[in-house]
C-alpha cells in the first residue's frame, strides 16, 4: 500500500513511539502497534452506528466510490470528496469513506487475530501492518477539524420554491390510479411539511376543534434526525384547512370517515416503495428543482407568512433549536390561505440565534462551546 510522504513521516513517528512503548511495557511491538491502531480508530469514529440500514448505506457508498475510481490511491482517498456536488452529498461521502476505512481496518485486525490463534506468525504480522497503514491513511485524510469544502446551494429547495406548482396541478400530472393512491399522502406533506423519513414511521391524524370552535387536523409525528442535542422525538402539529381548497375539504371528510372506521385515529404511512415512486415522479416532471422535500420548505414559508412565533415554527418542523428554521422557506413564497398553526414537541426549544457553536467530537460525544453575540458560522 503506497503512502504519501507526509503519511510516511507520520508512520515513522508512530513507529518510534510504539517501539519505545514496547520496551517500557516489555510487550511485543505488534501488541503496541495494534493498540495504536485502536487509538486512531476510536478518535475518528464519531459516526459509529448500530443501525443496520445506515451501516449498509455507508458501506454501499464506500464500495461504489472505491470501485468507480480505481485510479485514486487509498492514501489520497479524500480526493473523492470533490465528486460531491452538494453539501449533503459531501457529508455522506466523507462519513462513508471514513466508515469504510474503519471497517476495513477492523476486518484486517480480525484476520490478524485469527492468524495469531492458528500460529501463522508471518500472516499475522503482515495483516497488522496493513491495518496500521490504513490507520495512518485514516488519520491523515480525516483528522478532526480538517477544513471542508464550502458549497453554494444552487439547487436548494428553498431557492427553487418559485418553481413549485400547487398540489392541484401536481395531481393533474398523475393518472387516476396514482391520484387515488398518493393524494392523501401528498396532502399530509402539504399540510405538515414532515420529512420523508418521518412519514415512513406513520402519522396519526385526528379531527378536533380549537378554542374558537374551528375545525382543525392534528398530526402526531415521530421524528427523524434525532441526536443528543438535536431533533424532536415526537411532535404534535395542528393546522386549520383552507376553506376554499377543494382538496383540503375532501381530505377532511376522508379523515372523518377513517376515524370512524379505526377507533378515532387515521394512521397513514408511506412505505419505501411509495417513496421511491413519488420521488421518480417528481424527478421526471420537475427535475431537481422540486421534490417531496419542497413541501417542507413550503410549510416553513406558510408558518413565517402568518408570523407564527419561532418556538412554534421549530416544534412544527421538528427542530430543537430556533436557528434551524432560518434555512427553511421564506416570507415571500408562502401561501397559507389563512391557515393557523400550533405545535408541541418532546423537547423545549433552545434559542441559539445569537450564539456561535464549536463542535468538538470525541468518542461520539458533542461538546458545545458557545460565545454570545458572535455570528453563527456553520
| Percent of the chain's residues with pLDDT above 90 | 50
What does the DSSP 8-state code read for residue 164?
P
pLDDT at 44: 81
Element (H, E) at 11: helix 5-25
Q: Which of 100-109, 142-151, 204-213 has the highest mean pLDDT?
A: 100-109
Q: Within its chain, how far is the Cα of 172 from the centroid? A: 32
User: In this predicted model, what pLDDT tens digit does every residue of 247-258 receive, in sequence order?
Assistant: 999 999 999 999
pLDDT at 374: 30
**pLDDT value at 23 more than 80:** yes
pLDDT at 194: 94
26/66 Cα distance (integer angstroms): 40
User: In this predicted model, what pLDDT tens digit does every residue of 145-181 receive, in sequence order?
Assistant: 444 444 444 456 666 777 889 999 999 999 999 999 9
Q: β-pairing, 234-239 with 341-345?
A: antiparallel
Asked whether the whole model's pTM tops 0.85, one would answer: no
pLDDT at 35: 94
* Average pLDDT of span 268-275: 92
Query: b or e along 229-242 (b: 16 or more beta carbons within 10 Å of the residue's beta carbon)?
Result: ebbbeebbbbbbbb
Other C-beta atoms closer than 10 Å to the C-beta of 67 total: 8
Task: Identify any residues that bridge with 362 across adjacent strands, giving them in sequence order.
Answer: 365
Cα angle value 36/361/16 (rounded, 5°): 20
Q: β-pairing, 215-222 with 203-209?
A: antiparallel
Taking the alpha carbons of 60, 226, 164, 173 in that order, is the dihedral positive or negative? positive
pLDDT at 354: 55
**Of 139-153, 262-276, 324-338, the least confident:** 139-153
Whether the Cβ atoms of residue 62 and residue 97 lie closer than 8 Å to each other: yes
pLDDT at 157: 63
Residue, of 184 and 339, whose pLDDT is higher: 184
* Average pLDDT of span 344-350: 92
* Average pLDDT of span 219-236: 89
**Of 46-60, 258-272, 361-375, the least confident:** 361-375
- Reported in sequence order, the residue ranges of the chain that DSSP labels E, i.e. its strands, are 203-209, 215-222, 234-239, 266-268, 341-345, 355-362, 365-372
**pLDDT value at 288 more than 50:** yes
* Average pLDDT of span 78-106: 85
143/194 Cα distance (integer angstroms): 35
pLDDT at 336: 52
Reference 11, options 97, 100, 142, 135; nearest CA is 135
* Average pLDDT of span 343-348: 93
Amino acid at each position: 500500500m503506497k503512502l504519501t510522504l507526509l503519511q510516511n513521516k507520520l508512520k515513522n513517528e508512530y513507529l518510534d513511539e510504539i517501539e519505545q512503548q514496547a520496551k517500557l511495557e516489555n510487550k511485543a511491538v505488534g501488541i503496541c502497534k495494534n493498540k495504536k491502531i485502536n487509538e486512531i480508530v476510536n478518535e475518528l469514529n464519531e459516526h459509529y452506528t448500530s443501525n443496520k440500514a445506515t451501516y449498509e448505506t455507508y458501506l454501499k457508498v464506500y464500495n461504489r466510490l472505491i470501485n468507480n475510481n480505481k485510479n485514486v490511491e487509498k492514501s489520497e482517498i479524500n480526493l473523492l470528496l470533490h465528486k460531491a456536488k452538494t453539501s449533503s452529498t459531501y457529508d455522506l461521502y466523507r462519513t462513508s469513506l471514513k466508515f469504510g476505512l474503519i471497517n476495513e481496518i477492523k476486518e484486517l485486525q480480525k484476520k490478524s487475530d485469527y492468524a495469531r490463534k492458528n500460529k501463522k506468525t508471518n500472516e499475522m504480522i503482515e495483516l497488522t501492518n496493513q491495518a496500521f497503514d490504513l490507520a495512518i491513511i485514516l488519520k491523515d485524510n480525516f483528522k478532526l477539524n480538517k477544513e471542508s469544502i464550502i458549497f453554494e446551494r444552487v439547487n436548494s429547495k428553498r431557492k427553487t420554491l418559485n418553481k413549485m406548482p400547487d398540489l392541484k396541478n401536481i395531481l393533474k400530472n398523475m393518472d387516476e390510479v396514482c391520484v387515488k393512491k398518493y393524494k392523501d399522502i401528498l396532502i399530509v406533506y402539504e399540510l405538515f411539511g414532515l420529512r420523508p423519513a418521518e412519514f415512513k414511521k406513520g402519522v396519526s391524524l385526528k379531527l378536533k376543534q380549537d378554542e374558537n370552535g374551528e375545525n382543525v387536523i392534528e398530526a402526531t409525528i415521530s421524528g427523524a434526525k434525532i441526536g443528543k442535542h438535536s431533533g424532536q422525538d415526537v411532535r404534535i402539529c395542528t393546522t386549520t384547512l383552507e376553506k376554499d381548497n377543494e382538496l383540503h375539504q375532501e381530505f377532511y371528510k376522508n379523515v372523518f370517515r377513517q376515524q370512524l372506521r379505526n377507533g378515532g385515529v387515521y394512521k397513514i404511512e408511506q412505505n419505501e416503495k411509495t417513496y421511491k415512486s413519488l420521488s421518480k415522479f417528481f424527478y421526471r416532471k420537475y427535475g431537481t428543482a422540486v421534490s417531496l422535500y419542497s413541501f417542507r420548505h413550503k410549510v416553513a414559508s406558510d408558518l413565517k407568512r402568518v408570523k407564527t412565533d419561532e418556538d412554534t415554527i421549530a416544534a412544527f418542523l421538528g427542530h430543537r433549536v430556533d436557528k434551524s428554521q432560518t434555512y427553511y422557506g421564506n416570507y415571500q413564497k408562502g401561501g397559507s390561505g389563512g391557515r393557523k398553526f400550533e405545535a408541541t414537541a418532546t423537547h423545549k426549544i433552545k434559542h441559539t440565534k445569537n450564539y456561535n457553536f464549536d463542535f468538538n467530537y470525541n468518542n461520539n460525544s458533542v461538546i458545545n462551546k458557545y460565545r454570545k453575540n458572535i455570528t453563527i458560522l456553520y
